[in-house]
Chains A and B, each alone.
Chain A
Amino acid sequence: MTIIQNITSHLSVKKAGIAGAGGLGSNVAAALVRSGVGHLVIADYDIVTKPNLNRQFFFADQEGQSKVDALRENLLHINPKADVEAHFCKITALNAGSLFGSCDVVIEAFDCADEKKWFAEWMIAHYPAKPLIMGSGIAGYGSPETLRVQRSGNLYICGDQRETNEKLVPLLAPRVIMVAMMQADLALELLLQEKPL
């Protein structure tokens, strides 16, 4: 087996959870499916709108579709054999365990800071051993060197962690996707940890 086949075969039995299918979640999902991660659980309660298309992994003809269904469709275009569980729902304390309890790694990809905080605290309380990869601080453009990863036990935070005024500093593809790729790259690092190369 070549190294890439070895990596792909190791990832094919792994399961990644993605909480949110916006700019971070949709792009993380694409990178993980391309890398060969076999099982994805994606939950989101939003629909695709035109302003999403400047950074999220959706297409103009998908406007009005639920993000999870549109994303599942796009991911299956990359790999028809990928097992993608799409859940059109808000993630709450009532369903988070059944959604993400069996995942090897969980990606936090919410929009609002208070949802990020709730989810991080819930995961730390209920699944302290499960790696949680968060995104925080992805707005604007320029100075890509300010993007970083903070490691804190099983919690990983990707982004610049800087507060900005949403009205003045918009979300744009390069920075959002860079942070999504940092999350996806860390997910591979964690999923491939025990893999003998």
Chain B
Amino acid sequence: MTITLNNRIETFSPQEMSITQIMDEKSFHFKMLIVKLNGTLIPRESWPLTVVRDGDRLDIIHLVSGG
């Protein structure tokens, strides 16, 4: 499947993946993340069960302390 991940086109070999699988593959291992799939906020507890498909837009935002 080909998706838009953080505004970049990325291709993964499986046809579908969970958000957690994509995070593992792309090494997103931070504590404080905001995840949006096709513009909808996805809470942490739903990441393992939420399926990402070809053409989807996934945004993974890392929030770091300091302001």
Contact pattern, B 55-67, Cβ under 8 Å of A = 1, otherwise 0: 0000101111111
Chain A residues positioned under 8 Å from B9 (CB to CB): none
> Which of B39, B65, B67 has the largest number of chain A CB atoms within 10 A?
B67
In the assembled complex, how far is the CB of residue A127 from the closest CB belonging to chain B, in whole angstroms? Answer: 13
Chain B residues positioned under 8 Å from A114 (CB to CB): 32
In the complex, the answer to whether B64 meets A137 with C-beta atoms within 8 Å is: yes
Instruction: Point out the residue from B30, B34, B62, B64 that lies within 8 Å of A121, measured CB to CB.
Output: B34
Tally the A-B contacts, defined by beta carbons under 8 Å: 80
In the complex, the answer to whether B66 meets A150 with C-beta atoms within 8 Å is: no
In the assembled complex, how far is the CB of residue B17 from the closest CB belonging to chain A, in whole angstroms? Answer: 19
Q: How far is the CA of A5 from the CA of B41 in the complex (A)?
A: 40
> Which of B41, B62, B66 has the largest number of chain A CB atoms within 10 A?
B66
B residues 27-62 near A (Cβ < 8 Å) are 30-32, 34, 36, 39, 41, 59, 61-62
A residues 119-153 near B (Cβ < 8 Å) are 120-121, 124-125, 134-139, 150-153
Binds B, one of A20-28, A58-66, A90-98: A20-28
* Minimum CB distance partner of A112 in chain B: B65
Secondary structure type dominating chain A contacts: mixed
A residues 147-171 near B (Cβ < 8 Å) are 150-153, 155, 157, 159, 161-164, 166, 171
Instruction: Indicate the size class of the contact surface on chain A.
Output: 35 or more
B: number of interface residues (CB 8 Å): 17
In the assembled complex, how far is the CB of residue A121 from the closest CB belonging to chain B, in whole angstroms? Answer: 6
B11 interface residue per 8 A CB criterion: no
B7 interface residue per 8 A CB criterion: yes
Instruction: Point out the residue from A112, A124, A138, A176 that lies within 8 Å of B41, measured CB to CB.
Output: A124
In the complex, the answer to whether A151 meets B63 with C-beta atoms within 8 Å is: no
Contact pattern, A 90-119, Cβ under 8 Å of B = 1, otherwise 0: 000000000000000000011111101100
> Which of A25, A113, A162 has the largest number of chain B CB atoms within 10 A?
A113
Q: How far is the CA of A42 from the CA of B7 in the complex (A)?
A: 31
* 25 pairs of residues in contact across A and B, judged by CB atoms under 8 Å: A112-B65, A112-B67, A113-B31, A113-B63, A114-B32, A117-B32, A117-B34, A120-B34, A135-B67, A136-B61, A136-B62, A136-B63, A138-B66, A139-B66, A150-B7, A150-B61, A152-B59, A152-B61, A155-B36, A155-B59, A161-B62, A161-B63, A163-B64, A164-B64, A166-B66
List of 4 A-B pairs having minimum Cβ-Cβ separation, nearest first: A152-B59, A113-B32, A161-B62, A111-B67
